[in-house]
Chain A
Amino acid sequence: MLRRLLLRSPNSISQPLPTSHQLLPPSPKVPFSAWIAAASPAGQPPSSCSHNCRLALRSLRCAAAGGGGTESQPLPNQGMAAQNEKDPRLARISSSIRVIPDFPKKGVLFQDITTLLLDTEAFKDTIDLFVERYKGKGISVVAGIEARGFIFGPPIALAIGAKFVPLRKPNKLPGEVISEEYSLEYGKDVMEMHVGAVQEGERALVIDDLIATGGTLCAAIRLLERVGAHVVECACVIELPELKGRERLGDNPLFILVSG
C-alpha cells in the first residue's frame, strides 16, 4: 500500500500533490512496516476554529526582528512545492514512522513517531525541513503542544532563533496561566500557556507531531491570538486527512510533511 507524501503549502487554495509516490522500502531498523489506509473513526462534529480566530486580534501585527515576510502575507510556497515533490527526505521520514493498530483503542491506527526519533538521519531531516521553511521569516515564537510537540519544537526554535513556549495540560505550568477549553471526541480538555510568555504582535508557529481533527491546534491558535500574537502557520509531521483537521483550521495555514 502506498502512502501519499504531501508537502502542503499554506495557501488554502493549493491542492495536495496529485499522485501517490513510489516509496522507498521501509528501513530495516523499523520493526513494523504494515501500512494500512487509515480507517479512521468519524470525525467529531465540525466546530471550526476559523470563526473564533476571525474574532481574535488579527489587527495586531509586527514587523518582527529579522525581517522576511510582511505581517499579513502567508509564507511563500513557490518553488517549495516543486522542490518538495521530489524531496527524497520525505520518503525516509514517512517510512520511519511506525503504525500501531488499535491504540489507544480498537479501530485507531496510531502513528508512532518514536521510531522516527531512532533514525538519526530522518529525525534530522524532519527538523531541517521545518527550519528551511521558517528561518528568516521573522518568527519569534515556536509554541509546542505537550508532549510530542516538545520533541520537535525546541530544535526548530533553536535553529531559527525563536523562543520555545510549551502549551500544556492543566496544572503543569507553575506560573500564572491562561487556559483554553477544547472538545475531544468524548468530553473536553484544557490547554494552558504561561502569561507573559508571548507578547502582543509576535509571529508564532504552532508545532505538534500530528493533526487529526484539529481541535488541539485550534485551541493553541486561540491561546496565542488571545495574547495578541499572529499565528503564521501550524506545522505537523503527519496529517490524517480523513479527520478534516485542515478544514477545521479554516483560514489558518497548515504545513505538514507526510499523510497518514
Chain B
Amino acid sequence: MFAGENGLQGDPRLKAISDAIRVVPHFPKPGIMFQDITTLLLDHKAFKDTVDIFVDRYRDMDISVVAGVEARGFLFGPSIALAIGAKFVPLRKPKKLPGEVISEKYVLEYGNDCLEMHVGDVNHGERAIIIDDLVATGGTLSAAITLLERVGAEVVECACVIGLPEFKGKCRLNGKPLYILVEPRQ
C-alpha cells in the first residue's frame, strides 16, 4: 500500500520526499536507475518528514521492535524506533554481528545472500515492523520477515521509503502488508 493511497492523499510532504531522491542511471550496472536516498538525507525537512510519516503511522500500533535491514535501513529505522519507544534491531550481512545469530538465506538475481539477526534480540510475541529504503523484488524483506517469525515475533508491516508500483493496493509480501511512501523516479 502506498501512503498516497491511504490517508495521505495529496500530502505535499510526499512530493517533496520524492523530489529529494536522486536517480543515478546505470548503477550498479547498465539499465538500472538507482534510487539514491542520500540526497533525501541532505534535505533536513524532507528527511524529518519521512521519519514523521512512519512515526505517525506506527506510534499507536503497540510496536516494540523496529528491525532495519543493513545498511540503508539503519538510516531510517533508529529514528523511528526512538520516537515510538521501540527497540532497534539491526539485520545484517553475514559475520558482522558479534554474538550468536540466526541466519536466513535469500536469492539474488545471481546467487544467494544471507541476512542475520542476534539471538535474543526479539522475543516471542513481540510486534515488529521492518524498515528498508526500497523494496524491489522483496527478496531481502522476505528473508527479514522469516527471521522475525522464526523467533515468534509478529511482523505487523514492512515499511519502505520507495517501492515499485506493483506494491500498490493490497499487495502483500509473504502475507505481510507493505507501507511505502513513493514510487521510483525515472
Contacts and interface: CB of A to CB of B under 8 A. Distances in A.
A174 B24 contact: yes
Nearest to A172: B71
Nearest to B22: A175
Given A114-B121, A147-B70, A175-B22, A161 B90 contact: no
A98 B96 CA distance: 15
A81 B95 CA distance: 38
Interface stretch (A6-14, A120-128, A182-190, A244-252): A120-128
B2 interface: no
A168 B37 CA distance: 14
A157 B43 CA distance: 11
Contacts of B86: 120
B89 interface: yes
A128 B127 CA distance: 26
A151 B77 CA distance: 8
B47 A158 contact: yes
B75 A112 contact: no
Contact of B78 (A100, A104, A154, A165): A154
A155 interface: yes
Contact of A163 (B44, B75, B88): B44
B87 A98 contact: no
Interface in B65-102: 70-71, 74-76, 78-79, 81-82, 85-90, 92, 95-99
A117 B85 CA distance: 11
Contact of B75 (A32, A119, A150, A173): A150
From B22, B34, B43, B74, residue with most partner A Cβ within 10 Å: B74
A163 B47 CA distance: 9
Contacts of A114: 89-90, 97, 99, 118, 121
A194 B27 CA distance: 14
Contact of A166 (B38, B48, B98): B38
A150 B43 CA distance: 16
Contacts of B44: 157-158, 161-163
B41 A165 contact: yes
A154 B98 contact: no
Contacts of B41: 154, 157, 163-166
Nearest to A152: B78
Interface in B113-148: 118, 120-121
Contact of B27 (A103, A158, A165, A174): A174
Contact of B82 (A123, A146, A194): A123
A80 B90 CA distance: 32
A104 B98 CA distance: 7
A82 interface: no
B28 interface: yes
A67 to B, nearest CB: 17
B48 to A, nearest CB: 6
A103 B101 CA distance: 13
Contacts of B89: 114, 117-118
Contacts of B90: 114, 117, 151
A31 interface: yes
Given A123-B78, A171-B28, 12 more contacts: A104-B95, A114-B99, A117-B88, A120-B85, A120-B87, A154-B41, A158-B79, A165-B42, A166-B41, A174-B28, A174-B34, A175-B22
Interface of A: 31-32, 98, 100, 103-104, 110, 112, 114, 117-120, 123-124, 127, 146-147, 150-152, 154-155, 157-158, 161-166, 168, 171-175, 194, 197
Interface of B: 22, 24, 27-28, 34, 36, 38, 41-44, 47-48, 51, 70-71, 74-76, 78-79, 81-82, 85-90, 92, 95-99, 118, 120-121
28 contacts: A31-B120, A98-B99, A100-B98, A103-B98, A104-B98, A110-B98, A114-B90, A114-B118, A117-B81, A147-B74, A147-B92, A147-B96, A151-B90, A152-B78, A154-B75, A155-B79, A161-B44, A163-B43, A163-B44, A164-B41, A164-B47, A165-B38, A174-B24, A174-B36, A175-B22, A175-B24, A175-B38, A194-B38
